[in-house]
């Protein structure tokens, strides 16, 4: 399967200007924040989670659930076209990486068949630093 190119393309230098070093490491270099340290791990605020790099809507709080894995977990993206899934064979294991469809920034990984009581039996394990929560009733410009 061929992955379509990103709609938003910036040079490496432009990404470095736009993101702080920690954001850049996760979003553009597929890093991972330490478990249980992210700002949205335990958040229960109603709203929309956007890509921190480009502002695209990715997930909604209505699909967020407690997985106790150390990162925010969602059972479904806000829109089936919001994210792209691609095989990730790094670190000596086979996983499925989740990237933003708009800018191809790294968000985290998705896992299936873990037995969580969700409608999809999927866990989108997403780095908090890859997201920006827009509380219900607010706009991303607020």
Where residue 1 falls among pLDDT bands split at 50, 70, 90?
A: low
pLDDT in tens, 35-58: 999 999 999 999 999 999 999 999
Domains of the chain, CATH where assigned? 12-135 (2.170.150.20)
Q: What does the buried/exposed string (b/e) look like for 88-120 if buried means 16 or more CB atoms within 10 Å of the residue's CB?
A: beeeeeebebbbbbbbbbbbbbbbeeeebebee
Where residue 140 falls among pLDDT bands split at 50, 70, 90?
A: low
- Whether the pLDDT of residue 91 is over 80: the answer is no
pLDDT in tens, 18-34: 999 999 999 999 999 99
The neighbour count for residue 74, using CB atoms within 10 Å, is 28
Task: Give yes or no: 125 in active site.
Answer: yes
pLDDT in tens, 92-129: 778 899 999 999 999 999 999 999 999 999 999 999 99
Q: 71 exposed, middle or buried (CB, 10 Å; 0-12, 13-18, 19+)?
A: buried
- Whether the pLDDT of residue 142 is over 60: the answer is no
**Smallest Cα–Cα separation from 9: which of 104, 131, 100?**
104
**Rounded Cα distance, 122 and 118, in Å:** 7
Where residue 72 falls among pLDDT bands split at 50, 70, 90?
A: very high
Considering the candidates 51, 54, 100, 125, report the single residue annotated as catalytic. Answer: 125
């Amino acid at each position: 399967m061929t992955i379509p190119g990103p709609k938003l393309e910036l040079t490496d230098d432009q990404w470095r200007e736009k993101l702080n070093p920690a954001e850049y490491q996760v979003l553009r270099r597929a890093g991972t924040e330490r478990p249980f340290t992210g700002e949205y791990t335990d958040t229960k605020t109603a709203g929309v989670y956007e890509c921190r790099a480009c502002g695209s809507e990715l997930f909604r709080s209505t699909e967020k659930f407690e997985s106790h894995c150390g990162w925010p977990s969602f059972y479904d993206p806000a829109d089936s076209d919001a994210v792209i899934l691609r095989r990730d064979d790094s670190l000596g294991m086979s996983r499925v990486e989740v990237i933003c469809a708009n800018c191809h920034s790294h968000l985290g990984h998705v896992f299936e068949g873990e037995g969580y009581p969700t409608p999809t039996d999927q866990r989108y394990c997403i780095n908090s630093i890859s997201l920006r929560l827009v509380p219900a009733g607010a706009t991303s410009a607020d």
